[in-house]
Amino acid sequence: MAKILDKKLVSPAVYELVIEAPLIARKCKPGQFVIVLSDPESERVPFTIADFDREKGTITMIIQVVGNTSRHICEDYEAGDEWDNIVGPLGQPSEMKNFGTVVCVGGGIGVAPVYPIARAYKELGNKVISIIGARNKDLVLWEERMRAVSDELIVCTDDGSYGHKGFVTDPLKAMLEKGEKVDYVIAIGPVIMMRNVARTTEPFKVFTAVSLNTIMVDGTGMCGGCRVLVGGENKFACVDGPEFDAHKVDFANLMERQKMYKTQESVEWGCGGACKCLK
């Protein structure tokens, strides 16, 4: 059983949940994830660990309501309730060492999983520059947390309602074009954002890692749903990753595969494909 100690809405349809999970909190590392089974009849779903407290025995997850299962997990349970099962930590942890100057890029709710990575890099003595982005000011996530673990924080919004107007790739590109020293880049967020970060850094030959946690389903490598081409080889995000060399990921193939169940998803949402929620 996994007890929910705290739950709050942090932005529209996005919840922050603190879970009592001492065994997971004791062993988890930045970049890893858990599998949640809220009740015996529910779907098993993977969620990246956004924070952990080893002393308190807790882990924190940021969950966006995008379908029936995430809605059930977020809206039908309150603080004090218990999920039936939680398993972890799973996946390969982020590569941790003193690279020098690290740029951590988080888009949307991707800011949450990038947070413990940025914190760990800072603790290892890296200079950490964080770039976080959202569509508008109301959707900016964990700004103060990211500021606390960064030497420099840049906030971007698509509509310019807060911070830099534009995409997270804009300040990253400007930084590289000015010749600023960047030794390592990690990007987590929507697949198209990660692809664009990879395209931005590739001409400058700056190693870039991306976390493909958004495409995971089963979490054990058995379903094949998270299969991705990396350097021409089939990899599974849940067991081989979720982090991979961004310059070797076949993003075209990945984005095409993401469209496979668009029709079924639109039916599940009840829009019959008429709206733009999945386009």
Q: What is the pLDDT of residue 68?
A: 83
Q: Region 228-240: what's the mean pLDDT?
A: 85
CA distance 20 to 46: 17
Cα–Cα distance, 16 to 63 (Å, whole number): 7
What is the structure's pLDDT at 271?
45
CB atoms < 10 A from the CB of 160, how many? 12
Q: Is the pLDDT of residue 100 over 90?
A: yes
Q: Is the pLDDT reported for residue 226 higher than 80?
A: no
User: How confident is the prediction for the chain on average, in pLDDT?
Assistant: 88
Mean pLDDT of 132-157: 94
Provide the pLDDT confidence category of residue 277 given band limits of 50, 70 and 90. very low
DSSP 51: E
CA gap 19, 80 in Å, rounded? 10
pLDDT computed for residue 18 by the predictor: 96
For the chain, what is the total number of helices (H) and then of strands (E)? 9, 17
Q: Binding site for [2Fe-2S] cluster, residues?
A: 223, 226, 238
Q: Which phi and psi (to 5°) does residue 159 adopt?
A: -95, 0
Pick out the residues of the known binding site.
Answer: 62-64, 223, 226, 238
pLDDT the model gives residue 202: 96
Q: Which residues touch 34 (CB under 8 Å, ≥6 apart)?
A: 21, 24, 46, 47, 49, 59, 61, 86, 87, 88, 89, 90
Residues of the chain with CATH 3.40.50.80: 101-258
When the candidates are 3.40.50.720, 3.40.50.80, 3.40.190.10, 3.30.420.10, the CATH number that belongs to 101-258 is 3.40.50.80
Q: What is the mean pLDDT of residues 78-101?
A: 92
In whole angstroms, what is the distance from residue 17 CA to residue 41 CA?
21
Which of 4-18, 120-134, 213-227 shows the highest mean pLDDT?
120-134
* Region 112-120 average pLDDT: 95
pLDDT digits (tens, 9 = 90+) for 30-57: 999 999 988 888 888 888 999 999 999 9
pTM assigned to the model:
0.88
CATH topology of domain 2-90: Elongation Factor Tu (Ef-tu); domain 3 (2.40.30)
Query: What is the DSSP track for 77-98?
Result: --TT-EESEEEEEESPPPP-S-
Binding-site residues from annotation for FAD: 62-64
Q: Which residues of the chain does CATH 2.40.30.10 include?
A: 2-90
